[in-house]
Amino acid sequence: MTPTSTRRFRLVQTRAPGAVILIRLYVGAVFLSEGIQKFLYPDALGTGRFDKAGIPAPGFFAPLDGVLEIVCGALILAGLLTRLATVPMIVDMVGALLITKLPILWGDAPLFDGAGGWWDFAHESRTDLAQLCGSLFLLLVGAGAYSLDARLHTSLSGAPAAPLPARR
């Protein structure tokens, strides 16, 4: 195996059980729908929100973020290049937490008037934290048995396709 094919092999490798599909469906669907909504509702969720949060060049970063969420969300849903797709989404969630949610702790969040303190932070950041944890999980374990990554891994290894687990 060449170094390039070895990297590809490791990128799609997964020994995770089929149940990982539940995490993939949740994480992928949320990213995909949020990315689409940045274009459907630009004032509330796209450029307008980025501007209100104080993110520089909102006309550039909001659409970029939307495209990344759509592409990476679709890849995660399909279980294709899942580990690679989670990396920009981890950066996205860390950025969202630091820029829009962390200021809630000291009561200075432009997107959340009147919110302040730990409990408001915990409430407002729950989806971002779930997305971050789900993305980190998928980065660590891979896409699982029911994924295109698992099929690619099998074809790259030259081994016959593993049968799907039996239903009980």
The number of helices, as runs of H, and strands, as runs of E, in the chain is: 9, 0
Domain membership of residue 164 (yes or no) is no
pLDDT tens for each residue of 81-135: 999 999 999 999 999 999 999 999 999 899 999 999 999 999 999 999 999 999 9
**The two structure tokens encoding residue 34:** 């949020």
Domain membership of residue 167 (yes or no) is no
Domain membership of residue 50 (yes or no) is yes
Domain membership of residue 140 (yes or no) is yes
Total domain count, the chain? 1
Average the pLDDT over 140-153 and give the result: 90
Task: Check pLDDT > 90 for residue 2.
Answer: no
Q: What is the largest CA-CA distance in the chain?
A: 59
Domain membership of residue 168 (yes or no) is no
Separation in Å, CA 122 to CA 65, 108, 129? 23, 15, 9
Domain membership of residue 142 (yes or no) is yes
Domain membership of residue 36 (yes or no) is yes
3-state helix, strand, coil in the chain (%, to 5): 70, 0, 30
Q: How far apart are CA 116 and CA 131, in angstroms?
A: 22
pLDDT of residue 152: 84
Domain membership of residue 41 (yes or no) is yes
Comparing 28 with 1, the larger pLDDT belongs to 28
pLDDT of residue 124: 96
Local confidence band at 14 (pLDDT 50, 70, 90 cut-offs): confident
pTM (global) more than 0.75: yes
Count the neighbouring beta carbons within 10 Å of the beta carbon of residue 81: 18
Q: How far apart are CA 167 and CA 4, in angstroms?
A: 37
Q: Which domain holds residue 138?
A: 3-157
pLDDT tens for each residue of 27-79: 999 999 999 999 999 999 999 999 999 999 999 999 999 999 999 999 999 99
End-to-end CA distance of the chain: 38
Average the pLDDT over 146-164 and give the result: 72
Q: How far apart are CA 153 and CA 79, in angstroms?
A: 12
CB 150 within 8 A of CB 50: no
Q: How far apart are CA 92 and CA 68, in angstroms?
A: 9
